[in-house]
Amino acid sequence: MYPLTEEQRMLRDMVRDLAQKVIAPRAAEVDETGEYPWDIKEALARQELLALPFPEEYGGAGADMLTLCLVVEELAKVDASSSLILGIQSLGAIPIMLAGTAAQKARYFPKLAKGEWMPAFALTEPGAGSDAAAIRTKAVRDGDSYVLNGNKHFITNVGLAQVYTVFAMTAPEKGTRGISAFLVEADTPGFSIGKIEHKMGIRGSRTGEVIMQDCRIPAGNLLGNEGEGFKIAMMTLDRSRPEIGAQAVGIAQGALDFAAKYAKERVQFGAPIANLQAIQFMLVDMAMQVDAARLLVYRAARAIDEGDKNISMYSAMAKCFASDVAMRVTTDAVQVLGGYGYMKEYPLERMMRDAKITQIYEGTNQILRLVAARGLLAQY
């Protein structure tokens, strides 16, 4: 239904080999320690995988969305945290891709493409999660500068990123039309890191709080025009959600692969449990869900690549369905292993914990159903 080019197949196979040889052996340790896997990040940079989201003229690979999803999926099969390294490199760059000036792209893209710098996307606040319009961070124009004050939380790459896309109110009385987007570099005076979160899953990815107190940035760091921040944020999420869908598909496929192999080896009642119809039905139900989720993700990726007007709907559907599948499939995979599935000796309990966040970040699945329904009904 979505045929891959020879180049995409070769890239997918290379990433699959890298994931098995370099990332899989480290996945349990990264989860246990909760430390950022710098060695894996550098391995991705050496293979020029972090260059995929960026235009060729800035040292990137100019990959399309389907290619990005293929790579994220392969990485997520063995470790969700590692797949997020590429996912956030893409998410942090999309606002600049959409609204950045030539000068802004020339400053940031070459460093990001090489993996020398990492970005972050700073939208969420303690009182503004699903209700993104409720942000309270303010930006006030002062001559040739903007002064930012406020807090952001649940920010991925916090304390690691060199450049943050920060959304702040420039005209609170205008509601969503009063939100603007800014590029804030991590060494800017008044910009600091607060609490680092201790998470249930994706423990190799750092998440935490950003604090801005009289943080002064050049007026040239405004992304787009004043009042376009909310639009930029929503357009960014429309284009990043398929990658979260791909991450969810990868987690689910990895869990299915492990459970199916285990079922053929585990003997009970004198034969492999894969001979039992109850287990067979569980496995085939898991496989059907994973394949359906993959097709939805690929469809959303193609819609973005082709400039389809319905990308909000397709992206929401793909991320929502795939993440629900990841949660169901990892839960069932744990069940196939029985008591062993509950033990840290096996990777399934980690996959189950990692899967949960895919239902939450970049839009909860409850919100995404609203987004998809809005797009669906607009067609009628």
Residues belonging to the active site: 362
- φ, ψ of residue 268 in degrees (nearest 5): -140, 145
Bridge-based pairing of strands 119-122 and 163-169 is: parallel
Cβ(180)–Cβ(173) under 8 Å?
A: no
- Whether residue 39 contacts residue 333, with contact meaning beta carbons closer than 8 Å, is answered with no
Yes or no: say if 181 and 230 are a contact pair by the CB < 8 Å rule: no
Instruction: Please answer whether residues 319 and 368 qualify as being in contact, where contact means their C-beta atoms are separated by less than 8 angstroms.
Output: yes
- The tokens describing 312, both together, are 């909000």
Q: Give first-to-last CA distance, the chain, whole Å.
A: 26
DSSP 132-175: GGG---EEEEETTEEEEEEEEEEEETTTT-SEEEEEEES-GGGG
Task: Name 182's Cβ contacts closer than 8 Å, sequence gap at least 6.
Answer: 139, 146, 148, 165, 166, 167, 168, 217, 221, 222, 223
- H helix or E strand, kind and range, residue 349: helix 348-357
Written as six digits, the tokens of 222 are 């405004």
How far is the C-alpha of 308 from the C-alpha of 236, rounded, in Å?
A: 15
C-alpha span between 256 and 333 (Å, rounded): 6
**Conformational region of residue 175, where left means phi above 0, alpha means psi within -120 to 50, and beta covers everything else:** left
